[in-house]
Structure 1
Amino acid sequence: MGELVERVDDQDRVIRPVERGEAVRNRWLYRMAMVLVRDQSGHYLVHQRPKDSSRFPGEYSWLVAGAVAVGESYEAAASRELMEEFGVESPVRPLFKFLCQGELSPYWFAVHEVIVEDRRVAANLSEIAWHGWLTEGELVQAMDEWDFVSDSRDAFARYRALASQGE
């Protein structure tokens, strides 16, 4: 049996547990948790997926992401993914959530944030081919020049719009 997720409706209410592969094949809504990682000086952690990855091979992202398991909260899933992919144990802060149409299938996309005290991370090499820290300006430029996962581009545009509202 594959990874179990909760199939949800367009209001993010649980319908029933399903295999993630089944949700993707049928384009059923489920939940994804993301976390953006910044250091105290405002640099963003960016990474590249391995070229042999089953999803988005060789593409870049500024978000650590994963599916929300059955019975798991968005925040718990974001924290778990952060630990699994970069070895960082830290509480996350919710930022925003939106219904993402997604390249592979639609899902609820919850974005969280964590600010780390230093840049020491332990990248899981089975999920991360490269990682580095970029200033906001460098990240904006990278979004224009690098092959980013489309969903992370969408979240970046929403994040910047949200940040500009707070100015």
Structure 2
Amino acid sequence: MSELVEHVDEHDRVLGVVDREEAVREHWLHRIAVTICRDREGRILVLRRARTLSRFPGHYDVLVGGAVDVGESYEEAAVRELAEELGVRVRVRFLFKFLCREGISPIWFGVHEAVVPEVLVPDSGEIDWLDWLTVSELLEVVDQWSFVPGGREALRRYLRSGFGSGAGEVGAG
């Protein structure tokens, strides 16, 4: 089944609509909406991607997300992906976006933050394992475990920017 995405330029301006697999294969820029999930105590959700996934199977990540659909905003995509992958409907807060050239294809990451319930219903087709880690616990493992490169970069930007220092800022929706 074809997944259509917007092919964008170096300034995140839409150039056209393409198949996502073609965008990856041709290294065309497209958009991914991701969310760093925290609990009320400020711990960060860490997950291991399912081994059946085509992109980074079995890798760890702190991002929940996926491709932004044609005509969809980063925020709309982030909310949709949280519902699909974790079974939760919560508000997200857009934090920043950056052009990520690490990984299988260059992409624009729209990074969000959300406070989510500790009890989640992960999609087993997407997620093999998840747990909550403190920032210090996460920093101990982020370079030891096999993390998705873009997720590692997004986490570092998130922590450097001082985001996430106020747990509970983003409420449930």
Q: How does 1:67-106 map to 2 (within 5 A)?
A: 67-106=67-106
Q: Alpha-carbon deviation of 1:144?
A: 2.2
**Aligned with 1:145: secondary structure?**
coil
Q: How does 1:1-167 map to 2 (within 5 A)?
A: 2-116=2-116, 118-163=117-162
RMSD over aligned CA atoms reads: 1.5
Q: Alpha-carbon deviation of 1:142?
A: 1.6
Q: Output one character per residue of 1:77-99: Cα deviation in whole Å (capped at 9) or x when no partner.
A: 00111010000101100011011
Q: Alpha-carbon deviation of 1:2?
A: 1.1
Which amino acid is 1:154 matched to? Answer: E
- The TM-score with structure 2 as length reference comes to 0.91
Distance 2:52 2:149 in 1: 18
Distance 1:50 1:123 in 2: 11
Which amino acid is 1:33 matched to? Answer: A
Give the fraction of aligned pairs with identical amino acids, expressed as a percent: 51
Which amino acid is 1:32 matched to? Answer: I
Asked whether the 8 Å contact 2:52–2:125 carries over to 1, the reply is no
**Aligned with 1:47: secondary structure?**
strand
Distance 1:57 1:81 in 2: 18
After TM superposition, where is structure 1 displaced by more than 6 Å over at least 4 residues in a row? none
Q: Choose between structure 1 and 2: higher helix proportion.
A: 1
Distance 2:40 2:52 in 1: 33
Distance 2:144 2:105 in 1: 25
Distance 2:138 2:67 in 1: 25
**Aligned with 2:15: secondary structure?**
strand
Q: Alpha-carbon deviation of 1:31?
A: 0.4
Distance 2:96 2:80 in 1: 18
Q: Alpha-carbon deviation of 1:51?
A: 1.7
Structure 2 gaps of 5+ residues are 166-173
Distance 1:159 1:2 in 2: 32
Distance 1:26 1:56 in 2: 18
